[in-house]
Amino acid sequence: MNKVYLILLMILSLRLLAQDKLPPQDESFDPALLKEPTLPILDKTAIYEIVTDIVPSAPVNLPVDTVQFVEKMGWKVQIFSTNDFFLADSIYREAVIKFGDQSVEKVFDLPYYKIRVGNCETREQAERLLSRAQELSYFNAWVIRTRIKVKEKWNLYKSFN
């Protein structure tokens, strides 16, 4: 029995001796030397946009009737979702005709094609659009919170430059 223990001990010790030594660690990295962009929360631009919903980089010397599209959080009505491109395309074309006064978009979010309608700034507007979608036979439609594009007249705001 002692011979078995002796053989096992020799096998284990040989395996420990046969292991490769670890390469030396490279400790030359210094995170203090990185040139990172400033965080919007720290320089207060993101806080200003969240509180006021105004983008502070308004152009200067624009005509009075200048309109710009601004992206912000809002609501849309998702009327359809599928992983079939051709079915999504046909539903998209149908929705463009049925919702003539609303924007309709086809979004690809792997693996689904999603058809979304509207750019609603309030939940109430989105609920009214949802009722209209259900009247148009989109019974499985629902309201989602997402980024929307809205028209902003720049003459309403002062220049921040």
Q: Using CA atoms, how far apart are residues 137 and 113, in angstroms rounded to an integer?
A: 19
Residue 77 has pLDDT above 90, yes or no: yes
The pLDDT value given to residue 7: 85
Q: How far apart are the first and last CA of the chain?
A: 88
Q: 154 Cβ partners below 8 Å, 6+ apart?
A: 58, 59, 62, 66, 67, 68
Q: Read off the pLDDT of each residue in 126-132 and give the average, rounded to a whole number.
A: 94
The pLDDT value given to residue 156: 46
The pLDDT value given to residue 21: 73
Give the residue from 81, 156, 78, 77 showing the smallest Cα distance to 120.
77
In CATH, the architecture of 71-151 is 2-Layer Sandwich (3.30)
Give the residue from 87, 69, 56 showing the smallest Cα distance to 152.
69
Q: Read off the pLDDT of each residue in 38-53 and give the average, rounded to a whole number.
A: 54
Please answer whether residues 150 and 142 qualify as being in contact, where contact means their C-beta atoms are separated by less than 8 angstroms. no
Question: How confident is the prediction for the chain on average, in pLDDT?
Answer: 79
The pLDDT value given to residue 91: 94
Does 67 or 100 have the greater pLDDT score? 100
Q: Where are the domains of the chain?
A: 71-151
What would the DSSP string read from start to end of 67-109?
Answer: EEEEEEEEEEEEEEEES-HHHHHHHHHHHHHHTTTS-EEEEEE
Residue 61 has pLDDT above 70, yes or no: no
Residue 27 has pLDDT above 60, yes or no: yes
